[in-house]
Structure 1
Amino acid sequence: MASGAASTHQSGAKRSLPDWLDHQQRVHPRAIELGLDRVREVWRRLGAPAPAPIVVTVGGTNGKGSTVAFLEAMLGESGKRVGAYTSPHLLRYNERVRVAGVDAGDAALIDAFERIEAARLADPVAPVALTYFEYGTLAALWIFAHERLDVALLEVGLGGRLDAVNLVDADVAIVTTVDLDHQDWLGNDRDAIGREKAGIFRVGRPAIVGESDPPSALLEYATRLGADLRRAGRDYVFDDAAPDWHWRADATELVLPRPLLAAPCQTGNAAAAIAALHALRDRLDWNPAAIAQGVRTAKIGARLQRFAGAPELVVDVAHNPQAARMLAAWLRSEPSSGRTIAVFGALGDKDIDGIVHALAPCIDAWYLAGLERDSPRGLSAQALRERIGARIAPEAIASVGEDITQALALAFAQAMPGDRVVAFGSFMVAAPALEFAATRAC
C-alpha cells in the first residue's frame, strides 16, 4: 500500500504503532535501498528540521551502539539533554529513539509517522517510496527537533555515505571499526567498505577513527575531503591497564574506571566517544568527572550481557567475523569450569564461515536454530547446519531446534553445573534470548 490517507486504515480507524510498522514494510518493494534522494525529499517537505544544535554521527562495522551508549551516558552525567537514535531494536521498536534516556512513546512515534506519511504523499502523482529504516530515521529526526536537545546522537544503519542518517551534517563523525560485513551492499574488502563508511565525514569537521589500523582508503577519503582527522593511536591514545585505564590527547589526560560493558573492545569504544567530546570541548563543557561516571555506568543490552544461574547465560549480538573474534577473546579470558555451549542462529547473507572459524575453538557443543520465521534472510536450522558442517565436527552439533527459544530450552535441559550457554549470531537471536532469560528469572 503506497498511497491513501496518512493516518487511517481504509476503515477510518487510526493506526496503532504495530499497524504503522507493518505498513512501512510494504511501502517500498525492497527492504534495503541505499540512497539519499528519496529520504531527503521527504525531509525537505517536513521543513528539514535540525535535530539538535550539536549532532554526533556514529558509523562503523561494530561498536556503534556501544559508542552511542558511552556518549549518551557521559553527556547525560554532565547535565546535557541528549537524544539517541540506534538500530535495530531488541525487544521494542521504541528503543530506537530515546530522549534523556527514555524510550519514545507510541504516541510520539505515531505522530511522527503520520507527518512523514503526509509529506511522502504530498505529490499524489509521484508518492515517495520510503523503506522501513528511512521512516524510522525521519521519525527520530522529527522527534528530536521538537525536544529542545543539547546533542543528538545518530547511529548509522548500514554503510554511511548512502545511509539515511547521512542526511544530517554531523558536527563530529565517528567510524568505530571497519571489517567485512554487508558485502553485497558495501564492497568485498576493507578499503571499499571503509570508503563507504567515511562518507559520514564532513569538510573541516572532526572525524574520529576508532582503530589504529584503518583501511588506507578511509584515510585517503578523509584527507582528500579535508576532514579534521583524529585517529586512535596517533591523535589520541589509550591504554588498557587494569584496574584503571588512561586516555590522552594533546595535553589532556584522563584516568578512567573500567567500563561496565565487558567486551575487550569496549575501552576502544569509550576512547572514541571521549575523542568526540574532546573535539567538541569548546562547545560543550569538558567534564572529566562526568566522562568517568559515564564510562562506569554506560549500558546496552546483548553486548556480553550475563545472566547468573546454573548454567550461566551470556547473550551477545555478534553477527560478523570481527564481532565473533571479540566474543572469542572474551571467552578465552573468562574460562568456565564446565563446557561452553553455543546457541547460534544466523542470516544467510552473513559470513557464517568466518564467524564459526573464530569461535569454534572456544565452543564445546552447538545448538543451532532457525531464523527463517523472523526474516526473509534468515536461515533454517538445517541450512545453517549444512553451512557450518565443514568447520566443526558433526558430533559437536548437539541439537537442531526450530527457533532460538527451543534451542535454548534444549541447551539448558542438557547443560551441567559449571557449563555456560552463549547465545549469539544476530539481533534476532539476542531478542528471544533476553526474553528467555527474563522468563528463567521469574
Structure 2
Amino acid sequence: MSAKSSQKAAVQAAWSLDQWLVYLGEIHPANIELGLERVAQVFQRLRLDLSQRTIITVGGTNGKGTTCAMIEQALLLQGKTVAVFSSPHLLDYRERVRVQGKMLSTTEHCQAFSKIEAARQDISLTYFEFGTLQALQLMADSQCEFLLLEVGLGGRLDAVNIVDADIAVITSIDLDHQEWLGHTREAIATEKAGIFRKGIPVIIGEPEPPSTLLAAAEKLRVKASWQGQEFNYQLCATGFNWSNATYQFIDLIKPLIPAQNASTALQVLSTLGLPLEQSFVHQLFSQTKLAGRRQIIRQNPTIMLDVAHNPHATRLLAKELSGQSYGQIIAVVGMLADKDIQQSLLPLVDVVDCWYCASLQVPRGAQAKQLVSVLSQGKLVLEFDSVKAAYGTACEIAQKDDLILVFGSFYTVAEVSTLLEDN
C-alpha cells in the first residue's frame, strides 16, 4: 500500500457512518449502473465464504420486504440463525442489515465499509453496489445459517445477483423502473428471472406470471412452485386459508402483511422443510410486521403508513381499504416525479375521500401540483408545500372514525415517521 493510500485509510478509519454514506454518494457519477462485472470483481477480492449458508434471494416488483420479514420471523421462532439484507431504509441506514432480527452497531457498519474500500482499490462502485458488498461482509461475519437477500432493482444485473441463490423467490411482477427493466411485464419478468439458477427451488408468488417467467423456469429446469397451483391462499370472512401438497390450514388469523406475500413466505418455509403447525403459523402471522407496510401507528383517528409507490402496490392497497369501514379516508401523498403518478393514484380514487397532496423536498421529488393535476376535482383535493404541512392539516381535521393514509414514497413515510419520533 502506498503512503498516500495508507494515509487515506487512516483518515477513513475514524469516519462516522454518516461520513461513509456521504462518501458512497460521491465516488460514482451515477446512482444506478446495472451490471455485475465491477461488483463481482470486488466480491472475489473479499474472499467471503458463503458456501455453508442457505441463501434465499427474493426479487419482485412489490412485497419483497414483507416476504423476507415473515421468513426471517419464522426462522427465528424455530431457533435458526438468520441475517437479512433489505433496501431501502426508512430512517436509519443500519435497517438494511438485520442479524437475528436486530440492527448492528455503527462501528460494525463502518468497519465493514473500510474492508470494501480496501478491496475495491480503483474499481468504481455505485452507492447500492458498495452497500451490497458491505452487507455481504456483515452477513458473512455473522456466521448465520440462513441469508435472505432482497433484490434492489430487477434481478439479472442487480448487485445481489453476484451470489448464487439456493432458493429464489419472485413475489410479484408489474410495471416499475421501466427505464431500466423494460416497458412490459414480459420484459420485466425476464430481468427478475435472472436470479434463477439451474435446478434450484423457485417460489413464484405472482398469481398471473408472464410467459417469459414460465419460459425461464423451463429453460433452467428449476423446481418451481406457483401461487395458485402448487400453493394457494384465500381470504374470507373468518380469516386466512392456505394449502399446499403437505399442509392445509383453515381459519388462520389474517396476517399483518399483504396476504399474497404471507402465502409466498409460507411456501418458502415449507420448501425449506420447516415444520408448520396451525398454532405456529398463527403466532407467525400475529408477530410479523414491517415499518411502513400497512403500519398502523395510531388510533382515533387511525393513521396508516404504507410505502406503496407504483400501480401494483396501490391496487392492492385499494383492495384492502375498500373492505374496511371508516368515516372518511384522508390521503396524505407525496411521490417521486419519475414514478407513474397517474396510474399509481388512479386505483385509490374511489376509496379516498380527501386528497392532501404534498411536494417532496428531495431530488426527483414531484411537486404537489403534479399530483393534483391527475386527480378528479369532484373530491376535496388540496396542495401543500411539504409532507409535514399536509400531515399536520390532516391530523387537525380528522375525526375519530377517520383514516389518515400516508403513502406514495419511502420519503413520504419516513418524513411522517420522523415527525412522530420527535413528538
TM-score, normalising length from structure 2?
A: 0.93
Residue 90 of structure 1 aligns to a residue whose secondary structure is: coil
1:309, 1:286 → 2: CA distance?
Answer: 36
Asked if residue 322 in structure 1 is aligned to residue 312 in structure 2, the reply is yes
Match of 1:218 among 213, 222, 227: 213
Question: Does the CA contact (< 8 Å) of 1:35 and 1:162 recur in 2?
Answer: yes
Cα 1:411–1:245 change in 2 (3 A) is closer
Question: Does the CA contact (< 8 Å) of 2:59 and 2:155 recur in 1?
Answer: yes
Cα 1:242–1:82 change in 2 (3 A) is farther
Q: In the TM superposition, what are the counterparts of 1:58-69 in structure 2 within 5 Å?
A: 58-69=58-69
1:107, 1:5 → 2: CA distance?
Answer: 22
Moved more, 11-20 or 217-226: 11-20
Which position in structure 2 is the counterpart of 1:276?
Answer: 268
Asked if residue 267 in structure 1 is aligned to residue 259 in structure 2, the reply is yes
Cα 1:343–1:51 change in 2 (3 A) is farther
Cα 1:414–1:188 change in 2 (3 A) is same
Alpha-carbon displacement from aligned partner over 1:305-340 (angstroms, at most 9, x marks no partner)? 113344321111110001111111122111212x21
Which position in structure 2 is the counterpart of 1:124?
Answer: none
Q: Could you tell me which amino acid in structure 1 is paired with residue 289 of structure 2?
A: K
1:203, 1:270 → 2: CA distance?
Answer: 26
Cα 1:241–1:414 change in 2 (3 A) is closer
Residue 348 of structure 1 aligns to a residue whose secondary structure is: coil
Alpha-carbon displacement from aligned partner over 1:388-409 (angstroms, at most 9, x marks no partner)? 41432176322x2222112211
1:13, 1:145 → 2: CA distance?
Answer: 21
Residue 235 of structure 2 aligns to a residue whose secondary structure is: coil
Q: Could you tell me which amino acid in structure 2 is paired with residue 340 of structure 1?
A: I
Question: Does the CA contact (< 8 Å) of 1:175 and 1:209 recur in 2?
Answer: yes
1:369, 1:159 → 2: CA distance?
Answer: 29
Alpha-carbon displacement from aligned partner over 1:187-241 (angstroms, at most 9, x marks no partner)? 1010001111111111000111002211111111111122111111111222223
Q: Could you tell me which amino acid in structure 1 is paired with residue 37 of structure 2?
A: D
Q: Could you tell me which amino acid in structure 1 is paired with residue 214 of structure 2?
A: L
Displacement, 1:273?
1.2
1:327, 1:251 → 2: CA distance?
Answer: 31
TM-score, normalising length from structure 1?
A: 0.89
Moved more, 317-326 or 400-409: 400-409
Moved more, 6-15 or 293-302: 6-15
Which position in structure 1 is the counterpart of 2:409?
Answer: 426
Displacement, 1:242?
4.4
Asked if residue 405 in structure 1 is aligned to residue 395 in structure 2, the reply is no
RMSD: 2.1
Q: Could you tell me which amino acid in structure 2 is paired with residue 31 of structure 1?
A: N
Q: Could you tell me which amino acid in structure 2 is paired with residue 64 of structure 1?
A: K
> Percent of aligned pairs with the same residue?
40
Residue 24 of structure 1 aligns to a residue whose secondary structure is: helix
Q: In the TM superposition, what are the counterparts of 1:107-126 in structure 2 within 5 Å?
A: 107-121=107-121
Alpha-carbon displacement from aligned partner over 1:289-317 (angstroms, at most 9, x marks no partner)? 54442233111011111133443211111
2:358, 2:310 → 1: CA distance?
Answer: 17
Cα 1:35–1:434 change in 2 (3 A) is same
Which position in structure 1 is the counterpart of 2:247?
Answer: 252
Which position in structure 2 is the counterpart of 1:381?
Answer: 368
Asked if residue 415 in structure 1 is aligned to residue 402 in structure 2, the reply is no
Q: How many residues align?
A: 419
Q: In the TM superposition, what are the counterparts of 1:23-422 in structure 2 within 5 Å?
A: 23-50=23-50, 53-121=53-121, 127-255=122-250, 257-261=252-256, 266-281=258-273, 285-288=274-277, 290-337=280-327, 339-371=328-360, 373-374=361-362, 376-382=363-369, 384-385=370-371, 388-393=372-377, 396-398=380-382, 400-422=383-405
Moved more, 51-60 or 81-90: 51-60
Displacement, 1:276?
1.5
Cα 1:327–1:12 change in 2 (3 A) is closer
Displacement, 1:425?
0.2
Q: Could you tell me which amino acid in structure 1 is paired with residue 287 of structure 2?
A: T
Residue 239 of structure 1 aligns to a residue whose secondary structure is: strand
1:427, 1:6 → 2: CA distance?
Answer: 38
1:6, 1:90 → 2: CA distance?
Answer: 35
2:264, 2:20 → 1: CA distance?
Answer: 36
1:202, 1:432 → 2: CA distance?
Answer: 39
Question: Does the CA contact (< 8 Å) of 1:75 and 1:291 recur in 2?
Answer: no
Cα 1:19–1:231 change in 2 (3 A) is same
1:420, 1:240 → 2: CA distance?
Answer: 22
Cα 1:36–1:91 change in 2 (3 A) is same
Displacement, 1:39?
0.7
Any unmatched runs of 5+ in structure 1? Answer: 122-126
Residue 157 of structure 2 aligns to a residue whose secondary structure is: coil
Question: Does the CA contact (< 8 Å) of 2:152 and 2:160 recur in 1?
Answer: yes
Displacement, 1:9?
8.1
Q: Could you tell me which amino acid in structure 1 is paired with residue 310 of structure 2?
A: N
1:303, 1:287 → 2: CA distance?
Answer: 25
Cα 1:48–1:396 change in 2 (3 A) is same
Alpha-carbon displacement from aligned partner over 1:356-408 (angstroms, at most 9, x marks no partner)? 1111111222111122x32x2211223x24xx41432176322x222211221
2:289, 2:305 → 1: CA distance?
Answer: 14
Question: Does the CA contact (< 8 Å) of 2:241 and 2:249 recur in 1?
Answer: yes
Question: Does the CA contact (< 8 Å) of 2:161 and 2:195 recur in 1?
Answer: yes
Residue 350 of structure 2 aligns to a residue whose secondary structure is: helix
2:209, 2:68 → 1: CA distance?
Answer: 20
2:283, 2:336 → 1: CA distance?
Answer: 37
2:18, 2:9 → 1: CA distance?
Answer: 13
Question: Does the CA contact (< 8 Å) of 2:353 and 2:379 recur in 1?
Answer: no
Residue 146 of structure 1 aligns to a residue whose secondary structure is: helix
2:51, 2:293 → 1: CA distance?
Answer: 28
2:85, 2:11 → 1: CA distance?
Answer: 33
